[in-house]
Amino acid sequence: MKKRTLGIFATVMAFNTLLAKAAWAGGKKASDLVVVADTRLINSEIMRYFADLYNTNILLFAVWAVVLTAVMGCVLGWLMDKVMERTGIDLHSRKIVEH
């Protein structure tokens, strides 16, 4: 009985998935979302560099995004470490006091 219920449930789920896929495939093909950064308005050299990179080489732009995210994570971690240190919590050494 349990096996039969599971079988029916699996069939219904598979049918549901197929139906949803058919509905998605039936629509008109969506066009790509293309964004061009307007570099005519930028005066800052660094902003111009990133805007140009976004327009011309999206892969290098993605590499920059990853690098900068990692750097920001490190800076935030270091800052939080300093804050915790000032509250008196020692995070540098681990002492087991229970034993």
| Binding-site ranges for another protein (CB under 8 A) | 31-41, 49, 52-53, 55-57, 60-61, 63-64, 67
Residue with smaller CB distance to another protein, 5 or 31:
31
* 8 vs 65 by CB, closer to another protein: 65
Cβ atoms within 10 A of the Cβ of 49, count? 13
3-state secondary structure of 92: coil
Of 60 and 83, which CB lies nearer to another protein in the complex structure? 60
Q: Report in angstroms how near the CB of residue 34 gets to another protein at its nearest.
A: 3
Nearest residue to 39 (alpha-carbon basis) of 27, 51, 50: 51
Q: Which of 55, 60, 50, 61 is nearest to 36 (CA)?
A: 55
- Give the shortest CB-41-to-another protein separation in angstroms: 6
